[in-house]
Amino acid sequence: MGKTNFIAAPGKQEVVITRVFNAPRVLVFKAFTDPNLIPEWWGPKRLTTRIEKLEVRKGGVWRFVQRDAGGKEYAFHGVYHEVAPPARLVYTFEFEGTPGHVSLETVKFENQGGKTKLTETSVFQSVEDRDGMIATGMEAGALETMDRLADLLEKIK
């Protein structure tokens, strides 16, 4: 299985996550934009994900709700700023549990001879916001999420 790189350089407002998937980029892009596929990989496995809204177009909104075994829900939402299939997505990301802390997500899908290099850059409003998000377990969650995505891609390719 591929390795996910999680880079959070000290003093920077960004986190960069990269991974090469053994799947064509059109399929990796589809996994990011298909409401039937997203719940299969988005977030930690211990949570279920429900897609409440997904308008994959410039100006379109998205909202996902995750639920734990005890029934507690966690909601996330944002707005798409750029949708360029199958190469790039740009959208905002906000956890509704901490309103006002919005990051800008840029996801690039690069063809590498039948494989896809995914680069996800999250830019936060401040270093403190970024460090606060990392303190919530962002790295472990991102690594598990990318492993789940890799497993899904192997299953559907």
Alpha carbon dihedral 157, 30, 38, 98, in 10-degree steps, equals 140
Q: Report d(CA 74, CA 44) in Å as an integer.
A: 12
By the 8 A CB rule, do 93 and 105 touch?
yes
Q: What is the pLDDT of residues 9-41, one digit of tens each?
A: 999 999 999 999 999 999 999 999 999 999 999
Q: What is the pLDDT of residues 114-152, one digit of tens each?
A: 999 999 999 999 999 999 999 989 999 999 999 999 999
Which residues fall within 8 angstroms of residue 36, CB to CB, at 6 or more apart? Answer: none
Q: How confident is the model at residue 1 (pLDDT cuts 50, 70, 90)?
A: low
Nearest one of 157, 117, 153 to 41, comparing CA atoms: 153
* Structural domains in the chain, sorted by start: 5-156 (3.30.530.20)
